[in-house]
Structure 1
Amino acid sequence: MKLEKSRFTSEAAPQSNVGLGVIINNDFAAIVPVNSGLIGGRQTNIVSARDLHKALGVGKDFSTWITDRITDYGFAIGSDYIVNKAISPKLGKSPTGAACSPVTVGRPGKDYLLSISTAKEIAMLERNEQGRAVRRYFIQCEEELQRSVPEIASRYRQHLKARINAAGRFTAMCEALELARMEQGKATQRHHYTNESNMLSRIVLGGLTAKQWAQTNGVEGEPRDSMNAEQLEHFAYLENTNITMIDMGMEFDQRKAELTRLSQRWMAKHLEVAHD
């Protein structure tokens, strides 16, 4: 994959001992170069995972570190990152497997090209001084946004709250479904969870599943990350109600009909509030 130098790219190459003040007081390109590239056929700003690993001063070897991060936090290939294989004459390998100083002979170098949002998230997960500095940087950005444009900051917080609430309710709904089926002596398969999810999505999203909605709206990655706060609140309400119905032993079709009716009431009430 060919990368074009972006105007967002730092003029200086990233250093593993990058100063904390630089991280806090400048943009993300001060930590690691940001380039222009394609992920999932979509033009976006990307970051080399190898560069990020170096800039953050991670003690763990690169391959283990990046695969652990991808697995533990569910980053998706084709939307959050892509894999790039290229000859890298600057990458050597120490006896322990860690990346080391430049060597004279090149070797195939496997890199992970991350979307900038994925790179930021990974950076904030590091439990060292660089990682803590990155977290402080984004906290300061949020505080500055609150001071300068409070109404935008408020919308962001509302969306974050709705996203977290909907995620929590979905997990609880799946647990309730599994428990109810277990009490009936039935195993719960993947498609049972999918059926519940698609049922609620079609109610909230006008007859579309989340996947269909994402395709229709050109959304990459997890669909709920791109939904607005009202849609997420709608999901959380229906998920919470569905938990109660599952606990009551109501069958799927009965729950679907009742949730559809309650959804219409919920939307009517929110429409009234919006017009007040």
Structure 2
Amino acid sequence: MKKSELSFEVSPRPEHVAGAFKPEINDEPQSVFSDLIPVISGQIGGRDSNIVSAKALHKTLGVGRDFTNWIKGRITQYGFTLGDDYTLVESLSTPKRASAKSRQQLEHDYLITTNMAKELAMVERTEQGRAVRKYFIQCEEALSRTAPAIAANYRQHLKARLKAASNFKPMCEALDISRAEHGKATLPRHYSNESNMITRIALGGLTANQWALANGHPKEKARDYMTTEQLEHLSYLESTNITLIDMGMDYYGRKTELSRLSQRWLSKRLGVAHG
């Protein structure tokens, strides 16, 4: 098999996927789906995800359109993103009736997250689509029961991501008020300077864009790929910076103080980790 551009190697044929996650489902029609559309653990864009074969989903949904046009149309229509919602894989297969000159042909499949799969099933607006969507929900519920630590880690990461996102606007508003009190206008570069100052402290001297580029992630979604600890660190620095701005501390004073507090925060986290 040829690896995809995002280096995720999985057979697109669901019956050949080893270690597929099969929830315990009492409803007989639902239990059939675990064989037709196995859910496996893997990575898309460097992040752990529960993944299914789009080709297997297409077949189970009984969609009238051919697979390639269907999946490309849905991706465009609903704005799914390569490396975030799905990845493309290729494999060589031998048709049942192959000529001597053409014994193998290239097959394409899309490996998609279960969230994308649920949405694709829902928009078909059929009984089969609703049943398949229910199956994916049951898979997620079963994961929460059988692997609570994994589910808890996902929830913690989401909480950290949302908290980090919620601090940026209040920080900009605090900067606006502080500069206005000194008769200064706030320009876009002032916001970006503030954000870059904080991310450089948290990410070892790199801005969010530089960090994303160095790690092979799309720069516009840098925070989506950060670890829970990195997001919590950023959130702490942003909320602290709001307080320092309100206290009237200037840019360089805030930078010095945030650098000091960052080291203190990291030391405390290491102490907890090794305590």
Work out whether 1:218 is the aligned partner of 2:216: yes
Please report the TM-score for the alignment, with normalisation by the length of structure 1: 0.58
Q: Structure 1 residue aligned with 2:116, among 93, 100, 120?
A: 120
Query: Is the alpha carbon distance of 1:115 and 1:272 closer, same or farther for their aligned partners in structure 2, counting shifts above 3 Å?
Result: same
| Counterpart in the other structure of 1:15 | none
**AA matched with 2:12:** F
Residues of 2 paired with 1:214 and 1:155: CA distance? 22
Q: 1:8 aligns with which of 2, 5, 12?
A: 12
Equivalence for 1:51: 71
**SS of structure 1 residue aligned to 2:241:** helix
CA distance, structure 2, for counterparts of residue 246 and residue 49 of structure 1: 53
Q: Which aligned pairs between 1:68-217 and structure 2 lie closer than 5 A?
A: 70=79, 116=112, 120=116, 123=119, 138-217=136-215
**Is 1:201–1:208's contact at 8 Å kept on the other side of the alignment?**
yes
1:93-151 residue CA offsets vs partner (Å, 9 max, x unmatched): xxxxxxxxxxxxxxxxxxxxx98459819938x78957987875554333221222222
Partner of 1:234: 233
1:183 positional shift? 4.2
Deviation at 1:187, TM superposition (A): 3.1
| Residue identity opposite 1:266 in structure 2 | W
Query: Would the aligned equivalents of 1:52 and 1:119 in 2 still touch at CA under 8 Å?
Result: no
Gaps of 5+ in 1: 12-19, 34-46, 55-61, 82-113
**Count of residue correspondences:** 205
Aligned-residue Cα RMSD (Å) equals: 4.1
Give the Cα separation in 2 of the matches to 1:204 and 1:218: 19
Q: Does the alignment pair 1:265 with 2:271?
A: no
CA distance in 1, matches of 2:130, 2:174: 37
Quote the offset at 1:218 in angstroms: 2.3
Deviation at 1:210?
1.5
Distance in 2 between residues matched to 1:185 and 1:48, nearest whole Å? 59
Q: Tell me: CA distance 1:265–1:21, structure 2 relative to 1, closer, same or farther (3 Å).
A: same
1:252 aligns with 2:251: yes
Q: TM-score, normalised to structure 2's length? A: 0.58
Letter in 2 for 1:140: Q
> Once the 2 structures are TM-superposed, how far is the Cα of residue 182 of structure 1 from its aligned partner?
3.9
- Corresponding residue SS for 1:147: helix
- Tell me if the contact between 1:201 and 1:209 (Cα under 8 Å) persists in the aligned partners: yes
Q: Distance in 1 between matches of 2:135 and 2:250?
A: 50
Of residues 169-178 and 200-209 in structure 1, the stretch that sits farther from structure 2 once superposed is 169-178
Please state how far the C-alpha of 1:206 moved relative to its aligned partner: 1.1
Partner amino acid, structure 2, of 1:262: L
Measured after TM superposition, the shift of residue 166 of structure 1 is 0.9
Letter paired with 2:116: K
CA distance in 2, matches of 1:121, 1:182: 49
Match of 1:156, as an amino acid? Y
**Is the CA contact 1:10–1:32 (under 8 Å) kept in the aligned structure 2?**
no
Partner residue, 1:42:
none
The answer for the alignment partner of 1:57 in structure 2 is none
Give the whole-Å Cα distance in 2 for the aligned partners of 1:179 and 1:256. Answer: 19
Tell me the distance in 1 between the aligned counterparts of 2:193 and 2:157. 26
